[in-house]
Structure formats: structure tokens, C-alpha cells
């Protein structure tokens, strides 16, 4: 059974974060630069929220706010759901599906160590299913 720490090890990527005091425009530029759909919001090494494309669309664009004058802290999602390195891929999928979220920060001892997207989870589950199919086909042939 694959666990979150396996996925993080395979990603080999640094977690890109944003400060609550950053402008929405700065956050969007970071997201575009790193091709990500969400950024953990970190203040003094603590996760305080998450800023996503959805937050931008619903809380800036639709409300007519200005991206350069609005701070991430004003529109970020708070009370962020997280998982730990020992959580299973299935647990992540359940949380994401049940709560309709697309990104899960990973905390270890209250420290942000990674972030998983729904794409990471789906890709991993597909790979696991293909491996099971190959194993079953091999078993049937022998």
C-alpha cells in the first residue's frame, strides 16, 4: 500500500509557498512560474492557509477586487485539511473526494513537507491498478 511519503519522494520537488502578506498578483506569478494550481500560505514556518486558482476566481475576479492591492491573507482558504507522510493514497483520495478539494498539504510534526494534487493521487492510483492488472495477467498465464 503506497503512502504519502512514497509520492513525495518520487516528486523530487521543492514546496513553493507564499506569505500571507504577499499580493494576489505575486502569488499568481509564482503559480504560473512553477505551473501549480495552489500554494500553501506559510507564516513563520507554520501553515496558515492555502491559496488556489479557485480562491482567485471566486474571491477576487467575481468580487471585482484588485490583484495588486489584495493580500493573499484576505482571500486564502483557512482551516486547511492536511495529511501526514504515513497517510495512504486511498485516504488522500477519500479526503479530496469527500471535501471536494484539489490540493492536500503534507505536515510532519507541524512542519510543511510537501503538497499533493489530485493529479498526483490519480496518477498513482492508475499506476497501481496497471501493476495489479499485469500481475493478474501474469498469474493467469502461468
> What are the C-alpha distances in Å from 2 to residues 81, 120, 121?
20, 12, 10
- Section 117-123 average pLDDT: 94
Characterize the bridge pairing of strands 38-43 and 46-52. Answer: antiparallel
Residue 142 has what pLDDT?
75
Decide if pLDDT at 131 tops 90.
no
pTM reported for the whole predicted model: 0.87
Domains of the chain: 4-141 (3.10.580.10)
The three-state secondary structure class of 130 is helix
Residue 132 has what pLDDT?
86
Share of the chain above pLDDT 70, in %: 100
Residue 28 has what pLDDT?
97
**pLDDT band, very low/low/confident/very high, at 141 (cuts 50, 70, 90):** confident
Work out whether the CA dihedral 52, 48, 7, 34 comes out positive or negative. Answer: positive
> What are the C-alpha distances in Å from 82 to residues 50, 77, 105, 116?
11, 13, 5, 10
pLDDT tens, position by position, 79-109: 999 999 999 999 999 999 999 999 999 999 9
Amino acid at each position: 500500500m503506497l503512502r504519502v511519503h512514497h509520492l513525495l519522494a518520487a516528486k523530487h520537488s521543492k514546496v513553493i509557498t507564499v506569505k500571507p502578506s504577499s499580493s494576489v498578483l505575486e502569488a499568481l506569478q509564482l503559480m504560473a512560474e512553477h505551473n501549480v494550481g495552489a500554494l500553501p500560505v506559510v507564516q513563520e514556518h507554520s501553515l496558515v492557509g492555502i491559496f488556489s486558482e479557485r480562491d482567485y476566481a471566486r474571491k477576487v475576479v467575481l468580487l471585482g477586487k484588485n490583484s495588486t492591492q489584495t493580500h493573499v491573507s484576505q482571500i486564502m482558504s483557512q482551516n486547511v485539511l492536511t495529511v501526514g507522510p504515513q497517510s495512504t493514497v486511498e485516504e488522500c483520495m477519500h479526503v479530496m473526494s469527500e471535501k471536494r478539494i484539489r490540493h492536500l498539504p503534507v505536515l510532519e510534526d507541524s512542519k510543511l513537507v510537501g503538497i499533493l494534487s489530485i493529479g498526483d493521487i490519480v496518477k498513482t492510483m492508475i499506476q497501481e491498478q496497471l501493476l495489479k492488472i499485469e500481475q493478474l495477467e501474469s498469474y493467469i498465464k502461468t
